[in-house]
Amino acid sequence: MDTIEKLKVLSEDSQYDLACACGTRNDDHRKRGQDGKWLYPVALPQGGYSVLLKTLLSNACSNDCKYCPLRSETDVRRCTLRPEEVAALFMDYVRRKKVSGLFLSSAVIMNADHTMDKINAVARLLRYKHNFRGYIHLKIIPGASDAAIEDSLSLASAVSLNIETPGKKHFDMLSKKKDYMNDIIRPIKLMGKLTDRGNRFSRVKCTTQFLVGASDETDSEIINYTFGFYERLHFKRVYFSAYQKGLGNPDIPGEKQLLSVPEKPFVREHRLYQVDFLIRKYGFNKGDILLDKNGNLSLDKDPKQVWADNHPDFFPVNINKADREVLLRVPGLGPDTADKILEMRRESKITCLDDVSVKGKRLKNIKGYVMFG
């Protein structure tokens, strides 16, 4: 294969890892370029979006992860890009203003540190040969040494390592080669420590991803780990990727569950993202996330609505007096609308929801939870 053909294959194979960009609006969604590469929009802290070229360095994997279509036992078209090829390709896209950042991951070539050496070599070429000072997101390979991780942090704007499951018991159902505590938890804790406020690499953002529904984990377990990532490790984002039927080994729990409820992992993914927003944007704590007797979120109602239904004494909320934290408990009210309400109240009293320009289903939903006097 020539370089462009390799890129098409490896860009396609990178689509299952969402730990760089994901959103609910149209301008948050990934798009495929004309030459087959995936382009991912990432929101910038200062506002606006940066478009990332997203690809694998290689899909020739030595690991046995039962959920992964690229595991060593599968018959897929294998190829590997050299670090020099990736750097030259990327800089060509930058010069043509097609992209402004890179998300680089890889299957495991031989072993973790050999792969990390290749990944870091790409970033080093971009930083020191091509003088690229823009956004680079590097994937940390499970089992990477402390030195390899520190090398990545010295070169990257962001790094990620996918936790996949909340706990060793669930992880062991999906891989026999990888050791959960040493290959996943140890490097994740190191990433959190080295990027914590005041430390050497505090400018680098850390993210991770759960694979939802491949094993037999509960939502409660995923949510507990998610709070840990934000509260103790200070990760920037947690992502959730629904396991898709037929990608993995037929004997994993996810394949059996999909036979009875095919849509369940995708609904779970959506609910978990809603919980993530409640944690990051709405000030919800762990006790506010209500679960059923089996430790799972409702598939029928969003978690904010479930909280409201279980706290009728909290409502109605006085829209002219409630502080921001209280307003954010109202079903249908988001951070932008809450801020708009607070701003409008400084000028005059709000007498109806029409004043706030809320329309459609949201208007109907909010009406039952607010008052104006």
Output the domain CATH number for residue 87. 3.20.20.70
Number of domains in the chain: 2
Tokens of 165: 């499951």
Q: Can you give the residue range of the structural domain that contains 333?
A: 313-371
In a domain, 293, yes or no: no
In a domain, 302, yes or no: no
At a CB cut-off of 8 Å and minimum separation 6, what does 296 contact?
Answer: 218, 219, 220, 268
Residue by residue, what is the 3-state secondary structure of 211-261? EECCCCCCHHHHHHHHHHHHHCCCCCEEEEEECCCCCCCCCCHHHHHHHHC
Instruction: Reply yes or no on whether the pLDDT at 27 is more than 50.
Output: no
Q: Are 245 and 162 members of one domain?
A: yes
Q: Are 206 and 247 members of one domain?
A: yes
Give 119-164 pLDDT, tens digit per residue: 999 999 999 999 999 999 999 999 999 999 999 999 999 999 999 9
Q: Are 209 and 341 members of one domain?
A: no
In a domain, 308, yes or no: no
Tokens of 132: 């690229």
Q: Are 280 and 319 members of one domain?
A: no
In a domain, 300, yes or no: no
Q: Are 233 and 343 members of one domain?
A: no
Burial bucket for residue 234 (CB in 10 Å: 0-12, 13-18, 19+): middle
What integer is the mean pLDDT of 114-121?
97
Instruction: Pick the last residue of a domain from 267, 284, 301.
Output: 284
In a domain, 159, yes or no: yes
Q: Are 214 and 327 members of one domain?
A: no
Q: Are 321 and 263 members of one domain?
A: no
Q: Are 224 and 351 members of one domain?
A: no
CA–centroid distance for 119 within its chain: 20
Q: Are 352 and 220 members of one domain?
A: no
Distance CA 22, CA 9 (A): 22
**Which of residues 226 and 25 earns the better pLDDT score?**
226
Q: Are 110 and 25 members of one domain?
A: yes
In a domain, 297, yes or no: no
pLDDT on residue 250: 73
- For 18, 76, 347, the CA distances from 29, given in Å and listed in that order, are 11, 27, 37
What integer is the mean pLDDT of 78-85?
92
Q: Are 194 and 335 members of one domain?
A: no
Distance CA 341, CA 186 (A): 45
* 34-42 long-range contacts, CB within 8 A, separation 24+: 35/4, 35/7, 35/8, 36/4, 36/7, 36/8, 36/11, 36/12, 37/7, 37/8, 37/11, 37/93, 38/11, 38/12, 38/14, 39/98, 39/99, 40/103, 42/101, 42/135
CA–centroid distance for 278 within its chain: 15
- For 47, 77, 124, 126, 257, the CA distances from 13, given in Å and listed in that order, are 30, 10, 24, 23, 24
CATH of the domain at 354: 1.10.150.320
What integer is the mean pLDDT of 74-84?
87
The band of 339, judged by pLDDT with boundaries at 50, 70 and 90, is very high
The band of 45, judged by pLDDT with boundaries at 50, 70 and 90, is very low
In a domain, 306, yes or no: no
In a domain, 305, yes or no: no
pLDDT on residue 24: 41
Q: Are 236 and 346 members of one domain?
A: no
Instruction: Pick the last residue of a domain from 265, 284, 303.
Output: 284
